[in-house]
Chain A
Amino acid sequence: MTDRQNASAPTPDANGSASSLSLRGVRKTYADVVAVESLDLDVARGECFGLLGPNGAGKTTTMEICEGLTSPDAGTVELLGFNWHTNASELRQRIGVQLQETQFPDKLTVEETLRLFRSFFRHGVSVEESIQTAQLDEKRSSRIGGMSGGQKQRLAMACALVGDPELLFLDEPTTGLDPQARRHLWDLVDQLKQAGRTIILTTHYMEEAERLCDRVGIMDHGKIIALGTPQQLIASLGGEDIVEFAVTGHAMNEGTVNTAPLMNIPGIQSHRVDAGLHQLSVRELHHAVPRIFAALSEQGLHLSEFRTHSATLEDVFVGLTGRNLRDE
């Protein structure tokens, strides 16, 4: 696990541009709860970085420290070469923020809300342009109270974009949205990435992080426990595929699996059991699967379930913590 923790920070790219965000030894405690513990993080310019983790992992606290809404107990925070102590108002002009669970006034329209937020920024895009970007054309004169969750979230995104920010923070942008609205929002983030913006987002959907992020940091209990590109993290499991199976035994053997023969099969990297379901992390699936069948029938076990899927970040999280993401 140690080598995962130390997964290298991105080196400055060819243009020599420094990182957009840099956290060093950041720590925050609430009463006796450690929300964030000695966090180091660098995000490069133009990168889309995802903080991934279950509820309560410290993602939002980390975001709020970056956004200058919460001050850390220890450590340094640098954004775009500035810090919150000396350049707060400059930073506010340059970043865009979407918070979790902001409710805009129900009785304002989309256009009125955007015009209000636009007025706070010295430079930025026109209200018109932000409406186009968020695809809220038809809703421009609708009151927010009558809009769907997805539309409200796109409005929140538009409010984060009116200042034409160099650095964009999105805290759980798709939580609570239906799949279609989620995909809609992903397309919007894709556009922003293509426009070269630096984006930092949090999510507890692994597929979202895989789909959107150039690099992800997996957070648990206030620490980043793994850091890298989604491909690197999945590769770190040692197997690209996951085999899941359940067995029923005969009278003598109450379905207990002797795992030693399984682990001896070449290509099998790890094994764990969760609620009677066995999970194997497997390389070269086509060679491993026949041997798994053989090993199980030698023990007189019958398969009641058997499936395989390509490893995902979800499996990475499970591999690292032994828990599922939504166990909380």
Chain B
Amino acid sequence: MSKLQESSLYQLTAVRFLLILREPEAIFWIFIFPILLAAGLGIAFRNRPADVLQVGATTVQLTQALSIDKGLAATTMDEASGTRALATESILLLAIQRPDGVDYKFDDTNPDARTARLLVDRAIQTAAGRHEVVSVKNDLVHETGSRYIDFVVPGLLGMNLMGSAMWSLTFAIVEARQKKLLKRMVASPMPRWQYLASFLLSRQVMLVIEVAIFLGFARLVFGVPFRGSLWQLGLLCVLTSLAFSALGVLVASRARTMEAASGLMNLVMLPMWILSGIFFSASRFPAVIQPVVRALPLTAAIDAMRGNMLQGINLGQMAPQVGLLLAWCVLPFAVSLRIFRWR
């Protein structure tokens, strides 16, 4: 065995890692759950191609005029069957040729029908020779990066880093305390800081796998963009995970039972679930509570990840977020070392 493998920090970390891998439930929460969540959201908020609106017309000439517009699918039908089609919503609008012009029959409380009214009118007027007064040009935006799924993936990534770090660490520590394993560990010459640090380090090994799977899925299935540097994104993930691991150790530093620990953990995580902008922008909260929102580690993490992935901002420009995350790594860990209950 090499010198490294004989070192206590290596052994502690390796043992932590083995214990996580041998826990099937943990594998589900860490690897499968985020993918399921992203897939679910991706399906719910997928961007549909612009709909083609079904309309009817009473003459072939009208139908031809309407067919020029790509947004309309026109069918020729008489007025009676057209009215029936309207009632069953198989068409949104019926254009009826009158001697003195064209009548539009539609339901003006239905937004799609109102859109159809605009398109149909434009097509008929243009066919009749109307010229636009102002020259306009459409510049269509179908860019990745501005969709909801692009927005929510960094949020989910942050949330998942928080959840998996807090749950796995807190429970492992409280369990070791209950089984008197902590007491046995400190009865040996093991350096105490190494025991706590091994939790943070083993998380980092899991992190590589966890983040790679999640982001790989988001990239392949939804085409979520990575505009910033990948190594900086990696660094952000490491920093985020360290911060939440340190917080997890702090939450677990006194609790004697799982119940106490999970209560504390929810107390710590709940504000972040709500305030940190996982599913919608955190800037929607009123200005009064913004200082609190901004001070939360998850807000900083998600902001920085969005900055990196969606806008390609480099870390130097996100110094406040990075600094805040660093502070959240150091402070809870230092406090834990002081107040940790080893027995």
Show the binding face of A for B, using Cβ within 8 Å. Answer: 67-69, 89, 92-93, 97, 99-105, 107-108, 112, 115-117, 119-122, 159, 163
On chain B, the residues within 8 Å of A101 by CB distance are: 180
B49 interface residue (CB < 8 Å to A) = no
Whether B181 pairs with A119 at a CB distance below 8 angstroms is no
Whether B183 pairs with A107 at a CB distance below 8 angstroms is no
B110 interface residue (CB < 8 Å to A) = no
Whether A102 pairs with B183 at a CB distance below 8 angstroms is yes
Partner-binding segment picked from B159-167, B184-192, B280-288, B327-335: B184-192
Query: Closest chain A residue to B9 by CB distance?
Result: A119
B: contact size bracket: 20 to 34
Could you tell me the distance between the alpha carbons of A49 and B18 in the complex, rounded to whole angstroms?
39
CB of B59, distance to nearest CB on chain A (Å): 78
Could you tell me the distance between the alpha carbons of A216 and B188 in the complex, rounded to whole angstroms?
26
Q: Given A103-B181, A104-B181, do A116 and B189 touch, yes or no (CB 8 Å)?
A: no
B11 interface residue (CB < 8 Å to A) = yes
Could you tell me the distance between the alpha carbons of A21 and B187 in the complex, rounded to whole angstroms?
17
Whether B189 pairs with A93 at a CB distance below 8 angstroms is yes
Q: Given A93-B189, A105-B19, do A120 and B181 touch, yes or no (CB 8 Å)?
A: no
User: 5 shortest A-B CB distances, which residue pairs?
Assistant: A92-B189, A103-B179, A119-B11, A107-B22, A97-B187
Could you tell me the distance between the alpha carbons of A60 and B310 in the complex, rounded to whole angstroms?
60
Inter-chain residue pair count (beta carbon < 8 A)? 66
A69 contact from B7, B15, B186, Cβ within 8 A:
B186
On chain A, the residues within 8 Å of B8 by CB distance are: 116, 119-120
Could you tell me the distance between the alpha carbons of A162 and B217 in the complex, rounded to whole angstroms?
46
Query: Closest chain B residue to A102 by CB distance?
Result: B184
CB of B26, distance to nearest CB on chain A (Å): 11
Could you tell me the distance between the alpha carbons of A67 and B187 in the complex, rounded to whole angstroms?
7
Whether B189 pairs with A107 at a CB distance below 8 angstroms is no
On chain A, the residues within 8 Å of B11 by CB distance are: 115-116, 119
Query: Closest chain A residue to B194 by CB distance?
Result: A120
On chain B, the residues within 8 Å of A107 by CB distance are: 18-19, 22-23
B296 interface residue (CB < 8 Å to A) = no
A interface footprint on B305-343 (CB within 8 Å = 1, 0 otherwise): 000000000000000000000000000000000000001
On chain A, the residues within 8 Å of B183 by CB distance are: 69, 99, 102
On chain A, the residues within 8 Å of B188 by CB distance are: 92, 97, 117, 120-121, 159, 163
User: Which chain B residues (1-32) contact chain A, with CB distance < 8 Å?
Assistant: 6-8, 10-12, 15, 18-19, 22-23
On chain B, the residues within 8 Å of A163 by CB distance are: 188-189
CB of B22, distance to nearest CB on chain A (Å): 4
Could you tell me the distance between the alpha carbons of A115 and B179 in the complex, rounded to whole angstroms?
20
CB of A44, distance to nearest CB on chain B (Å): 23
Whether B18 pairs with A108 at a CB distance below 8 angstroms is yes
User: Which chain B residues (172-227) contact chain A, with CB distance < 8 Å?
Assistant: 176, 179-181, 183-184, 186-190
Chain B CB within 10 Å — which of A103, A105, A107, A121 has the most? A105
On chain B, the residues within 8 Å of A69 by CB distance are: 183, 186-187, 343
A-B contact pairs, 7 of them (CB 8 A): A92-B187, A99-B183, A102-B180, A103-B181, A105-B181, A121-B189, A163-B188
On chain B, the residues within 8 Å of A121 by CB distance are: 188-189
Could you tell me the distance between the alpha carbons of A186 and B267 in the complex, rounded to whole angstroms?
50
On chain A, the residues within 8 Å of B180 by CB distance are: 99-103
On chain A, the residues within 8 Å of B181 by CB distance are: 102-105
Whether B184 pairs with A97 at a CB distance below 8 angstroms is yes
Query: Closest chain A residue to B184 by CB distance?
Result: A102
Query: Closest chain B residue to A127 by CB distance?
Result: B1
On chain A, the residues within 8 Å of B7 by CB distance are: 119
User: Which chain B residues (126-148) contact chain A, with CB distance < 8 Å?
Assistant: none
On chain A, the residues within 8 Å of B23 by CB distance are: 107
Whether A89 pairs with B187 at a CB distance below 8 angstroms is no
CB of B131, distance to nearest CB on chain A (Å): 79
Whether A116 pairs with B187 at a CB distance below 8 angstroms is no
Query: Closest chain A residue to B182 by CB distance?
Result: A102
Could you tell me the distance between the alpha carbons of A183 and B186 in the complex, rounded to whole angstroms?
29
Chain A CB within 10 Å — which of B7, B15, B19, B176 has the most? B15
Query: Closest chain B residue to A69 by CB distance?
Result: B187
Could you tell me the distance between the alpha carbons of A112 and B179 in the complex, rounded to whole angstroms?
18
On chain B, the residues within 8 Å of A92 by CB distance are: 187-189
On chain B, the residues within 8 Å of A117 by CB distance are: 188
Given contacts A99-B184, A103-B180, 17 further A-B contacts (CB under 8 A): A92-B187, A99-B180, A99-B187, A100-B180, A102-B179, A102-B180, A102-B181, A105-B15, A105-B19, A108-B19, A112-B18, A115-B11, A116-B11, A116-B15, A117-B188, A119-B11, A159-B184
CB of A28, distance to nearest CB on chain B (Å): 14
Could you tell me the distance between the alpha carbons of A44 and B186 in the complex, rounded to whole angstroms?
26
On chain B, the residues within 8 Å of A100 by CB distance are: 180
On chain A, the residues within 8 Å of B179 by CB distance are: 102-103
CB of A175, distance to nearest CB on chain B (Å): 14
Whether A119 pairs with B19 at a CB distance below 8 angstroms is no
On chain A, the residues within 8 Å of B10 by CB distance are: 119
Query: Closest chain B residue to A103 by CB distance?
Result: B179
Could you tell me the distance between the alpha carbons of A43 and B19 in the complex, rounded to whole angstroms?
40
Could you tell me the distance between the alpha carbons of A121 and B188 in the complex, rounded to whole angstroms?
8
CB of B168, distance to nearest CB on chain A (Å): 14
Whether A89 pairs with B19 at a CB distance below 8 angstroms is no
CB of A317, distance to nearest CB on chain B (Å): 28
Could you tell me the distance between the alpha carbons of A286 and B184 in the complex, rounded to whole angstroms?
52
On chain A, the residues within 8 Å of B343 by CB distance are: 69
Whether A119 pairs with B187 at a CB distance below 8 angstroms is no
On chain A, the residues within 8 Å of B190 by CB distance are: 120
CB of B181, distance to nearest CB on chain A (Å): 6
On chain A, the residues within 8 Å of B176 by CB distance are: 105
On chain A, the residues within 8 Å of B184 by CB distance are: 97, 99, 102, 104, 159
Could you tell me the distance between the alpha carbons of A119 and B194 in the complex, rounded to whole angstroms?
12
